[in-house]
Structure 1
Amino acid sequence: MFGLLKKMFGTTQPEAPRPQFYDIVCPYCFSKFHHEDVVFRAAHYRDDDEAFNLQEDDKLNDYRKKFGLAEIDEIEAIVYPSTIPDDNKIYTNGVLMGVSDKYAVVTRKRLCPGCHNELPVTAGKYPSNILSIVGATSVGKSVYITSLIHTLQHVTANNFNAACIPLNNAISRRFRDDYEIPLFENGNLLDATATTKRQEPFIFQFVFKDENKAPLTLVFFDVAGEGMTEQEYLQLHAPHIKNSAGILFLVDPMQIRAIRQKMLHQMGENPGEIVGLAREPREVVVALFEDFISQQENNKTNIPTAVVLTKSDLLYTLSSDEGEYIRSNSNVFHNVTHSGYLNLDEYENINGEIRRFLSKVDTPFVGSIDVFFNEASYFAVSALGSNPVDRQVSGIISPIRVDEPFIWLLYKLGYIEGRHVQ
């Protein structure tokens, strides 16, 4: 009877009592701190007070230099809550949100104490859930991030009664001008992110119209793939992985040696855009293990991890009615829309199918995932719906299942429910 009720009404992740406040993870430098440890940007300046003069901010400029951004010459001073009487501190629902300085001027510009970037207004009130995207070189992270955010904004958010909003106008312009317009309007394939290009993260908020649901902060860090196996570079970006609430681990089927030549043969003389053979997926797992998984209890991470097989349209070259690798009528080639909840039947089908496929063609990789990740599921996506030729996408871009791994992470984090519908 219980099984029937569960099938009819679905499942949700168990809910824990909600704390009054949460530790904050900075979406810029990914340092973690208590909400009382924030600092503030003064809302004014004074020429007759050295402490409130316009001045250089070394921490902010050090952060900007890491990403090749221009330094800021002069900016309003930092106000430290430790110098403010308790009566002049402003709290909302137990979270420090503002201070009134010695001139009785109120500021609510909360900054990270580590990098002095401004924090989202929700920081401390709700969990700082960060989603990380990792994978080897040329796995298609930039294209996938672009397709995913585009889909979240235009399709997924509406299906879950939410909105996907960039954190600020600068992020909105950078995403639109450098990623979305070149790909979705001009059909130009995005260049791979170079290891020398230290990009600031894309920060979006997935905000539910139901005010009782906490907004989810999405930090998409377009980490250059080559760096994921270079220890020094990984250490530069690893904090955002360590403090993630969920991981999207991208795997390119063309990087799997066991099937690469067979796929190339089936593609013929004009295969389209094919990347060179680079690091194998399991080598990225080893790099992650060395840097942070080995520091976790029992040498495993509890972070929910979606293992995402990208460029799934290429798998059609391996398909057959017999299904030696994958069947011609596979779920992989059909888009699925999850609306209001995670369709557990669709999820379980794709998870089982891709796990079996990867177990067949890259047993060591699946073995390493089993060893190091307590909570992993498998997905297949096509960010474009077809393989580009001469770095151009022909026809209309039609992503396939591109948001499904994200929706699964929403489910694992308790934002949405899952239901069996068959």
Structure 2
Amino acid sequence: MFGLLKRIFEKKEIKIEKLPFYDIVCPYCFSKFHHEDVVFRAAHHREDDEALALQEDELLNDYREKFGLAPIDELEAVIHPSMIPDENKIYSGRVLMGVSDKYSIVTRDRLCPECHNDLPITAGKHPSNIISIVGATSVGKSVYMTSLIHTLQRKTANNFEAACIPLDNGISRRFRQDYEIPLFENGTLLQSTASTRRQEPFIFQFIFKEEEKPPLTLVFFDVAGEGMTDKDYLQLHASHIKNSSGILFLVDPMQIRTIRDKMIHQLGEKPGEIVGVAQEPRELVISMFGDFIAHLENSKTTIPTAVVLTKSDLLHALKQEDGDYIRTNSNVFNNVTHRGYLNLAEYENINGEIRRFLDKVDTPFVNAMDVYFKNISFFAVSALGNNPVDQQVSGIICPIRVDEPFIWLLYKLGFIEGRHE
């Protein structure tokens, strides 16, 4: 009897499963930090308390200046959690999500400690999986980004039980007005980013309906090749690449000297939109990746990198029945829809074909990629489906395989599975 009572009243050791937390990568300045290092924007201001009075946020304005944005005169104060007693800190799981100030006013507006931009609500609770889009000048980054986001929002997300959502209303408005409407509704080709123009990153989240899956953040950080001279700006771009979980590396076939003249000759009097001779892809690998890759173990990066040959519709000019470059029955010209998983047969076909094509027309580039990257695959996309003439897209825009590199990155990062049909 005594033993029974003892077992009833004896304190049982309850095992509490500790929820994980993750370092945060800011999707604006790409700095990496612990979730306890976030700062907060106060939810109110007081004229009778200097610490909570409206004030200039120098770090935020320094960031805005880098992109040519006007400074913000006054904002609510920034609260550092180190100044807040532990009992006034609010956690969700093990992640610091809010603080209560000395007036018992709660704020959950978390900011990056380096640039004071707002952080995604999921930051710290899930890995900061950032996908970056990079490439040389005139490679078509803006057009590809527009076509990719448009496709992800209207087709791909639905095929993978997900949604593709802008990080905030400002990004949503900017994308619609400056990119999606001009291209998809007006048929007007987007201009290359001027070397003097600096634009804040476009940030979208690919959020799965299955709650256990973390969201994926897609960051488009547009950098004009000729404008990459400012040291601070270059440092920001290097951090962007270094802290990415996946990279979409865009290559324009017209910037490969071996095939450029042949293409122009084949396209005849109306070649459409043909870019000028710019950095060759190999030079871009060295200049954009060499700085941070050189310091890694074995001087290689393990970041999954999709090499994306853009403007694949131009390759129609090179196709031949038994062609040296592209055959008439090439996978390049067939659009493919992946639903629920990566179709490995389709992926392996396009990866093998484009690798062989690039190896033939630009061996130094493929060799440079193999030297610096451990985890690469090759793809071909057409953001528009045809080649614009006089800055206008004729007919209906029909993107070809535009989301396939992104879906491969989902597969490599463990979000979806791959299957052989």
- TM-score, with structure 1 as normaliser: 0.94
- 2:143, 2:80 → 1: CA distance? 41
Residue 292 (structure 1) shift = 0.9
Q: Which residue of 2 aligns with 1:419?
A: 419
Q: Which residue of 1 aligns with 2:13?
A: none
- 2:220, 2:412 → 1: CA distance? 18
Residue 324 (structure 1) shift = 1.1
Q: Which residue of 2 aligns with 1:312?
A: 312
- 2:420, 2:135 → 1: CA distance? 31
User: 1:305–1:377: 8 Å Cα contact kept in structure 2?
Assistant: yes
User: 1:333–1:400: 8 Å Cα contact kept in structure 2?
Assistant: yes
**Residues 285-304 of structure 1: pairs in structure 2 closer than 5 A:** 285-304=285-304
**Residues 36-185 of structure 1: pairs in structure 2 closer than 5 A:** 36-185=36-185
- 1:18, 1:237 → 2: CA distance? 35
- 1:374, 1:368 → 2: CA distance? 11
**What residue ranges of structure 2 are gaps of 5+ in the alignment?**
1-16
Q: Which residue of 2 aligns with 1:251?
A: 251
- 1:394, 1:232 → 2: CA distance? 41
SS of corresponding position for 1:295: coil
Residue 226 (structure 1) shift = 3.2
Residue 216 (structure 1) shift = 1.1
- 2:382, 2:44 → 1: CA distance? 49
User: 1:229–1:287: 8 Å Cα contact kept in structure 2?
Assistant: no
Corresponding letter in the other structure for 1:96: L
User: 2:66–2:233: 8 Å Cα contact kept in structure 1?
Assistant: no
User: 2:111–2:117: 8 Å Cα contact kept in structure 1?
Assistant: yes
Farther-moved stretch of structure 1 (223-232 vs 30-39): 223-232
Residue 277 (structure 1) shift = 0.8
Residue 19 (structure 1) shift = 6.8
User: 1:98–1:107: 8 Å Cα contact kept in structure 2?
Assistant: yes
User: 1:227–1:233: 8 Å Cα contact kept in structure 2?
Assistant: no
Q: Which residue of 1 aligns with 2:269?
A: 269
SS of corresponding position for 1:298: helix
Corresponding letter in the other structure for 1:345: A
SS of corresponding position for 1:20: coil
Q: Which residue of 2 aligns with 1:327?
A: 327
SS of corresponding position for 2:294: helix
Q: Which residue of 1 aligns with 2:9?
A: none
Residue 223 (structure 1) shift = 2.0
Residue 336 (structure 1) shift = 0.3
Q: In structure 2, do the counterparts of structure 1 residues 34 and 179 end up closer, same or farther at CA, with 3 Å as the change threshold?
A: same
Corresponding letter in the other structure for 2:238: A
- 1:338, 1:54 → 2: CA distance? 51
User: 2:133–2:219: 8 Å Cα contact kept in structure 1?
Assistant: no
SS of corresponding position for 2:171: helix
Q: In structure 2, do the counterparts of structure 1 residues 232 and 99 end up closer, same or farther at CA, with 3 Å as the change threshold?
A: closer
Corresponding letter in the other structure for 1:215: P
Q: In structure 2, do the counterparts of structure 1 residues 153 and 330 end up closer, same or farther at CA, with 3 Å as the change threshold?
A: same
Residue 246 (structure 1) shift = 0.5
- 2:125, 2:247 → 1: CA distance? 23
Larger Cα-atom Rg: 2
- 2:389, 2:59 → 1: CA distance? 45
Task: Tell whether 2:191 aligns with 1:191.
Answer: yes
Q: Which residue of 2 aligns with 1:388?
A: 388
- 1:135, 1:258 → 2: CA distance? 19
**Residues 200-219 of structure 1: pairs in structure 2 closer than 5 A:** 200-219=200-219
Corresponding letter in the other structure for 2:261: Q
User: 1:22–1:34: 8 Å Cα contact kept in structure 2?
Assistant: yes
1:241-278 residue CA offsets vs partner (Å, 9 max, x unmatched): 11000111100000011111111111011111111111
1:30-76 residue CA offsets vs partner (Å, 9 max, x unmatched): 10000000000000111110001011110011111111111111110
Q: Which residue of 2 aligns with 1:282?
A: 282
Corresponding letter in the other structure for 2:84: I
Q: Which residue of 1 aligns with 2:24?
A: 24
**What residue ranges of structure 1 are gaps of 5+ in the alignment?**
1-16
- 2:98, 2:230 → 1: CA distance? 41
Farther-moved stretch of structure 1 (224-233 vs 129-138): 224-233
- 2:379, 2:227 → 1: CA distance? 24
User: 2:132–2:221: 8 Å Cα contact kept in structure 1?
Assistant: yes
Q: Which residue of 1 aligns with 2:357?
A: 357
User: 1:342–1:418: 8 Å Cα contact kept in structure 2?
Assistant: yes
Q: Which residue of 1 aligns with 2:11?
A: none
- 2:102, 2:351 → 1: CA distance? 58
Residue 284 (structure 1) shift = 0.4
How many aligned positions are there? 405
SS of corresponding position for 1:292: helix
Corresponding letter in the other structure for 1:216: L
Residue 228 (structure 1) shift = 5.9
Q: Percent identity?
A: 77
- 1:137, 1:302 → 2: CA distance? 25
Q: In structure 2, do the counterparts of structure 1 residues 231 and 334 end up closer, same or farther at CA, with 3 Å as the change threshold?
A: farther
Residue 403 (structure 1) shift = 0.3
Corresponding letter in the other structure for 1:310: T
User: 1:146–1:179: 8 Å Cα contact kept in structure 2?
Assistant: yes
- 1:352, 1:19 → 2: CA distance? 42
1:336-382 residue CA offsets vs partner (Å, 9 max, x unmatched): 00010000000000000000000000000000001100000000000
Q: In structure 2, do the counterparts of structure 1 residues 212 and 87 end up closer, same or farther at CA, with 3 Å as the change threshold?
A: same
User: 2:129–2:217: 8 Å Cα contact kept in structure 1?
Assistant: yes
Residue 134 (structure 1) shift = 1.3
- TM-score, with structure 2 as normaliser: 0.94
